[in-house]
Amino acid sequence: MPLSTSDQVNTTAGALVGALQGAFGKHPGYRPAHAKGTLVTGIFTPTAEAAKLSKAQHFNSPTPITVRFSNSTGIPVIPDTDPNASPRGLGIRFNLGGRKHTDIITHSTPFFPVKTGEDFLAFLGALGANAAYTGESPTPLETFLGSHPETLAFIQAPKPTAESFVGLSYFGVNAFKFVATDGTVTTIRYQVHPTVGTEVLSAEALKEKSPNFLFEELPGRLASGPVELKLVAQIAEEGDPTHDATVHWPESRKIVELGTLKLEELEQEPKNSEDQKYIIYDPVPRVDGVESTDDPLLDMRASIYLISGRERRAAPELQI
């Protein structure tokens, strides 16, 4: 997983890592965003339709997976009941063998706050300035949101919390290109949907839960047997934008089931924490059969994850 070939992208990515650490505190050994998480292992079994769309190895044969569920923010001890802990994150690593892998990164809303890394840096700057602002309206944040309706839409969008991590739907906001064996290209966005019925919690019900209820619920659920999630692809049509993660494709677009994520075992401590410190999920596919689109966030996010991941790995120990 290399850094971007663009110096500007890497400079902005480094600034974003610093801005996130400034917002949430610097916690050595933890991610600057989605710091609180846990790892689950299992296997992905693709459908025949997935094999038609992509020649990628994991879409043509069962593949071991390492899944990470997480809370938002860079606070390692954020309560699961805190509204800022949503959207929840779901990262999926397909372990292809020979130290090779490809990843999918999703969160529990189809909305995303920005279309570029530069916009994200400006958004974080507005949030920081807002905290110290004592003047009249418009505040720095109001000024930013007034010129960035996509960020306002993300802030205002519902971000539900269910009784379990596995009771939510997750969305990959970036677009990718599937390449079939015959060279046919299909543009998609990923979605992950639950197969178990769990209640979406009201704000009042959420307040009654324990601070770690999602992380306490998952071990017991998995101890009773594997849990399945469905990986699907939303298929783009001509004219659907691929360069802007904030623009939704019409809900009428075709949905194709790609396969089943069978979650089998929660990683135990200390291995769970050690592996989370080491693993760096990669937004860029880097696998034959799945390619990046022209979405600038892919390159930016990859550099952010790598820069912060190197810092995390270099930390002598986890420090909350």
Whether pLDDT at 320 is above 80: no
Question: Over the stretch 175-190, which tens digit does the pLDDT of each residue have?
Answer: 999 999 999 999 999 9
What is the distance between the alpha carbons of residues 86 and 82, in angstroms, rounded to a whole number?
8
Question: Over the stretch 218-275, which tens digit does the pLDDT of each residue have?
Answer: 999 999 999 999 999 999 999 999 999 999 999 999 999 999 999 999 999 999 999 9
Question: Over the stretch 297-306, which tens digit does the pLDDT of each residue have?
Answer: 999 999 999 9
Q: What is the mean pLDDT of the chain?
A: 97
CATH topology for 34-111+160-297 is: Catalase HpII,  Chain A, domain 1 (2.40.180)
What is the distance between the alpha carbons of residues 87 and 171, in angstroms, rounded to a whole number?
10
Rounded mean pLDDT, 94-113? 98
Residue type, 277: K
Closest CA to 71 of 89, 55, 83, 58: 89
What is the distance between the alpha carbons of residues 209 and 279, in angstroms, rounded to a whole number?
30
Give the pair of three-digit tokens for residue 21. 């650490």
Task: Describe the chain by its helix, strand, coil percentages, rounded to 5.
Answer: 35, 25, 40
Whether pLDDT at 318 is above 90: no
User: Using an 8 Å Cβ cutoff, are 31 and 40 in contact?
Assistant: no
pLDDT, position 62: 99
Q: How far is CA 283 from the centre of its chain?
A: 9
- Per DSSP, 139 falls in state P
Whether pLDDT at 197 is above 90: no
Banded pLDDT at 317 (limits 50, 70, 90): confident
User: Using an 8 Å Cβ cutoff, are 104 and 82 in contact?
Assistant: no
- What is the residue extent of each domain of the chain? 34-111+160-297
Q: Where are the alpha helices (DSSP H) in 133-188?
A: 140-147, 149-156
CB atoms within 10 A of CB 235: 17
pLDDT, position 319: 73
Whether pLDDT at 207 is above 80: yes
CB atoms within 10 A of CB 52: 17
Residue with tokens 């623009």: 247
User: Using an 8 Å Cβ cutoff, are 257 and 230 in contact?
Assistant: yes
Range scoring the smallest mean pLDDT among 21-30, 114-123, 311-320: 311-320
